[in-house]
Structure 1
Amino acid sequence: MKLLRREGTSKYQGRPEDTMYRPGRLLIYGTQHILTMYGGVIAPPIIIGGAAHLKPSDIALLVTAGLFISGLATLLQTLGVGPVGSRLPIVQGVSFASVSTMVSIASKDGLRPVLGSIIVAGIIGVLASTYFARIVRFFPAVVTGSIITVIGASLLPVSFSWCMGGNQSAKDFGDPSHIGLAAITLLIIVLISRLFQGAISRLSILIGMVIGTLIAVVTGHADFSAVKDAKVVALPQFLHFGSPEFQFGAIVSMTIVIFVIMTETTADILAIGEIVETEVDDKRVAAGLRADMAATTVAPLVGSFPASAFAQNVGLVALTGIKSRFAVAAGGGVLVVLGLLPVVGAVIAGIPYPVLGGAGIILFGSVTASGIRTLARVDYSGGLNLVIVSVAFAFGMIPVGMPTFWDKFPDWFSVIMDSGISSAAISAVLLNIFFNEWKWGNKPGASVFAERENRVDELGERLEDDIAASERRPRRGQSKDTVTASVDGVTAE
């Protein structure tokens, strides 16, 4: 079969994530992803480096290594190598879920035990990936919808903090000028999305952040002074912080964290599958987890930390409709370059937090909306599915609404439950098993949504409905053929 290589068409026909664009657009779309998650990548190395009492030059190396590993992990996840990599539009980055555990270890014993524990826990994660992925059968729409909704809702407070300035200890945190800058950025993105179509509309986040940053420069709310002190080129340094140190307690704690990260990554893979509208089975989840854990295992060798799928980029895919994994792979290439060119990274790091916050409101909100859309397919007659959604959402919101809720519990338990995503996933899966899988004692007529739909048939029916609706209501300036071609989220040009 002849492969289609035109822009806006699927390279391998049939899968939205295989859509290919011209190199220029791939770079632009990929850069938009990196701008969205850049702050989340550089924050953990800075926090952990401070806890380990490293000097500024060493903390800079941690940041550079984090960017470099995040880029390689993203390339591995999107492009894949054999049974490694989900081949989905997923951005990988340094996981924030592991920060509290690493800070606890680093503040007492330094950085070497942290690096050693990550290597061992990563290897355990690689070995467990195949078996861990089999839980995908316990993730019907009622479960995935609950998790996706919690992912977005739990991220929204982060964007609110960014809107207020990002640094809660700063005197000007919450200053109206910060919130005003975030509001302007948000307004620009909304107006671009409303007034423009096609490529410009899809780049609304990037354009909004660029304009917002320019406004911040003019009004004195941007600081790019770090650019002059950054090196132009800096290669990752092998074992710069010394040989890893293996401590039993640190390894146990980090292994628990790794399983939390795997739970979150599984949720993100399933979420992106729903958004892209592509088939995700246990083998594909396992491949994605292997990429996650392989990057995690290698990361400490160059001074970096556990890798994880970034939920905010799931929201960007939902918002822009750019489902191409090659666009995200281009973003991975940008991360690798930033990891080798600290001066370029310093420029991007100068984007003010309020600008990121204005964009984050839309990004994280769109993740929540995607979860709600998934939950809309669930049958709530009988009330049992309503119990699953309500309990899962409540557990997922505990760390957001009451961060100290689990502090009196054992460390291993609080590490798991302090992640709203993992606590929501665990509660939703357990309730789904109790209501849907376990048939004994079910009352007659109870709605448990027990059957796991054939997603291929479901997606096919939904696609036909979308095509029919689009043909009845073509957008201004589009022919019916163009509308039909854009149903997969890509407009043929």
Structure 2
Amino acid sequence: MTSSTPATARPEDERLPFAQLLIYGTQHILTMYGGLIAPPLIVGTAAGLSAPDIGLLVTAGIFVSGLATLLQSLGLGPFGARLPIVQGISFASVSTMVSIASRDGVRPVFGAIIVAGVIGVIASSFFAHLVKLFPPVVTGSIITVIGVSLLPVSFDWALGGVGAKSYGDPGNIALAGITLLVILVISRLFQGFVSRLSILIGMVAGTLIAVPWGKADFSSVGQGKVVSFPPIFGLGTPIFDIGAIVAMTIVIFVIMTETMADILAIGQIVETPVDHKRVANGLRADMLSSTVAPVFGAFPASAFAQNVGLVAITGIKSRFTVAVGGGVLVLLGLVPMFGRVVAAIPAPVLGGAGIVLFGSVAASGIRTLSRVEYGDNLNLVVIAVSLAMGLVPIARPHFWDELPSGVGVVLDSGISAAAVTAVLLNLFFNRWRALTKDHPSVFAAAPDERGTPLPGTSES
């Protein structure tokens, strides 16, 4: 492969012919597209928005993700890691946004994102010190709860969507099952590029099947403009609620942790130096994009881990491929008609795809927890209690109803409750050295999967 870049230049600065940039950039977009459109669909549905308004959320999310990708990959002053990193609407924020939106609509969500984003921008320069509060025992618990808390959404979709007249119809379940089956078959029979498109292909196949079945309604697609700049505060001006802001600030720190991990990972894959300053620049771009997102009607942006994996698989290290992909996203975001098409995808089809998408998030959390050391500590207790607190809103949705609204918003989001619990318990059990003991609890002596006591523990 030829390059116009000197051999001494950084690998990520390699310049390829535009045709190759467009092909590889589009591949990045197709790889992350299913995960990109899911958050606005989930939150818009939870807020009770109409199909055209959900379409606005979708196109706004695409538009902001494109701008965020351009800022992260090309950089502007102290903003941007200048690495091949694709930015998209964060899954980590969905559970909290659903909790807020289902009560009060999307306006408090937008207000909370703006304030939390500003806090994130300010914290970016010294976040390396705060990241110590989020070791694998904490992040693994949080990510697991994120996935598990989203699964009920996919189940409701599979039944036809809450409030739908056909809710619970066996035909809806069958359509969701067909969509899931297509995704699984493609994932098993194909590899590489096609396999990574399994979610998108499954959704397209499910939708095409739903049309003659009478379960797809595209009547609203023609309503509104075909091409338009995303309206400023098109879904209303933001509302600033203290409880929502606290909950979203916790989410922002989780997003920053994930983005930092992705920046470090992509640096290793590209084989380029990534120092504290570069990490801070990447986080700063991440948070600036998240702060501006609500202005256009979008949600927090973060680095997409699946695209980090794509860089490793393809070996294409040029950040300009990602930048071209970001440009494609911006153009798609200027076509609201495209967003209305996406918003018209039948709920059961989303349900089938959601089982894989959200289950994968939970599986990622479990994978992180598998790297946690359980010998001679109370990490087992940290995880157990954090998961339990995170699952309270799922198992008993009205558990916190009698608490003050500010406290209720924080605890009624599984991710917020799990994050607060995990951070505090990790500090109490693992950081407070005054209470550290050689054998702190019987929970630390649990045997591994082979029945052998963990290192440092005894049979008793």
The TM-score by the shorter chain falls in which range? 0.7 to 0.9
- Cα separation, 2, equivalents of 1:432 and 1:332: 38
Which residue of structure 2 aligns with residue 360 of structure 1?
A: 354
- Cα separation, 2, equivalents of 1:56 and 1:158: 17
Is 1:34 equivalent to 2:29 in the alignment? no
How far apart are 1:434 and its partner, in Å?
Answer: 1.8
- Cα separation, 2, equivalents of 1:218 and 1:211: 12
Letter in 1 for 2:245: T
Question: Tell me, which stretches of 5 or more residues in structure 2 are unaligned?
Answer: 13-18, 443-460
Residue by residue over 1:334-365, the C-alpha shift from the partner in whole angstroms, topping out at 9 and shown as x without a partner, is 44223311122222222222222212212222
Within-5 A mapping of 1:376-455: 376-382=370-376, 384-446=378-440
Give the total of aligned pairs: 420
Letter in 2 for 1:200: V
Letter in 1 for 2:388: A
Partner of 1:435, secondary structure, is helix
- Cα separation, 2, equivalents of 1:342 and 1:179: 30
Which residue of structure 2 aligns with residue 255 of structure 1?
A: 245
How far apart are 1:123 and its partner, in Å?
Answer: 3.3
- Cα separation, 1, equivalents of 2:62 and 2:35: 14
- Cα separation, 1, equivalents of 2:416 and 2:159: 27
Contact 1:264/1:421 (8 A) holds in 2: no
Contact 1:189/1:208 (8 A) holds in 2: yes
Partner of 1:227, secondary structure, is coil
1:91 to 80, 88, 93: 88
Provide closer, same or farther for how the CA distance between residues 59 and 168 of structure 1 changes in structure 2, counting only shifts above 3 A: closer
Contact 2:61/2:299 (8 A) holds in 1: no
How far apart are 1:406 and its partner, in Å?
Answer: 1.9
Partner of 2:220, secondary structure, is helix
- Cα separation, 1, equivalents of 2:144 and 2:103: 30
- Cα separation, 2, equivalents of 1:395 and 1:114: 22
Is 1:149 equivalent to 2:144 in the alignment? yes
How far apart are 1:204 and its partner, in Å?
Answer: 2.0
Which residue of structure 2 aligns with residue 191 of structure 1?
A: 185
Is 1:69 equivalent to 2:64 in the alignment? yes
Which residue of structure 2 aligns with residue 470 of structure 1?
A: none
2:155 to 160, 163, 166: 160
Within-5 A mapping of 1:13-32: 23-32=22-31
- Cα separation, 2, equivalents of 1:319 and 1:353: 29
1:373 to 343, 367, 382: 367
Provide closer, same or farther for how the CA distance between residues 267 and 418 of structure 1 changes in structure 2, counting only shifts above 3 A: farther
1:175 to 151, 169, 172: 169
- Cα separation, 1, equivalents of 2:371 and 2:265: 14
Letter in 2 for 1:338: L
Which residue of structure 1 aligns with residue 453 of structure 2?
A: none
Partner of 1:157, secondary structure, is helix
Considering only aligned residues, what root-mean-square deviation do their CA atoms show, in Å?
A: 4.2
Contact 2:54/2:343 (8 A) holds in 1: no
Residue by residue over 1:204-224, the C-alpha shift from the partner in whole angstroms, topping out at 9 and shown as x without a partner, is 222222222221223222222
Contact 1:79/1:326 (8 A) holds in 2: yes
Which residue of structure 2 aligns with residue 206 of structure 1?
A: 200
Letter in 2 for 1:262: I
Percentage of matched positions with identical amino acids: 49
- Cα separation, 2, equivalents of 1:197 and 1:300: 37
Partner of 1:91, secondary structure, is strand
Which residue of structure 1 aligns with residue 214 of structure 2?
A: 220
- Cα separation, 1, equivalents of 2:46 and 2:298: 12
How far apart are 1:332 and its partner, in Å?
Answer: 4.4
Letter in 2 for 1:163: A
Which residue of structure 1 aligns with residue 332 of structure 2?
A: 338
Contact 2:80/2:282 (8 A) holds in 1: yes
Q: Which moved more, 1:293-302 or 1:358-367?
A: 293-302
Which residue of structure 1 aligns with residue 445 of structure 2?
A: none
Which residue of structure 1 aligns with residue 450 of structure 2?
A: none
Which residue of structure 2 aligns with residue 307 of structure 1?
A: 300
Which residue of structure 2 aligns with residue 269 of structure 1?
A: 259
Contact 1:150/1:396 (8 A) holds in 2: yes
How far apart are 1:267 and its partner, in Å?
Answer: 4.9
- Cα separation, 2, equivalents of 1:147 and 1:175: 34
Residue by residue over 1:190-237, the C-alpha shift from the partner in whole angstroms, topping out at 9 and shown as x without a partner, is 122222223222222222222222212232222222222242211234
Is 1:139 equivalent to 2:146 in the alignment? no
- Cα separation, 2, equivalents of 1:429 and 1:4: 48
How far apart are 1:60 and its partner, in Å?
Answer: 6.4
TM-score by length of 2: 0.75
Provide closer, same or farther for how the CA distance between residues 291 and 412 of structure 1 changes in structure 2, counting only shifts above 3 A: farther
Provide closer, same or farther for how the CA distance between residues 360 and 276 of structure 1 changes in structure 2, counting only shifts above 3 A: farther
- Cα separation, 1, equivalents of 2:361 and 2:309: 7
- Cα separation, 2, equivalents of 1:356 and 1:433: 39
Residue by residue over 1:376-411, the C-alpha shift from the partner in whole angstroms, topping out at 9 and shown as x without a partner, is 222223351211111111112112222222222222
Contact 1:189/1:207 (8 A) holds in 2: yes
Residue by residue over 1:307-351, the C-alpha shift from the partner in whole angstroms, topping out at 9 and shown as x without a partner, is 2449xx657977998698877766644442233111222222222
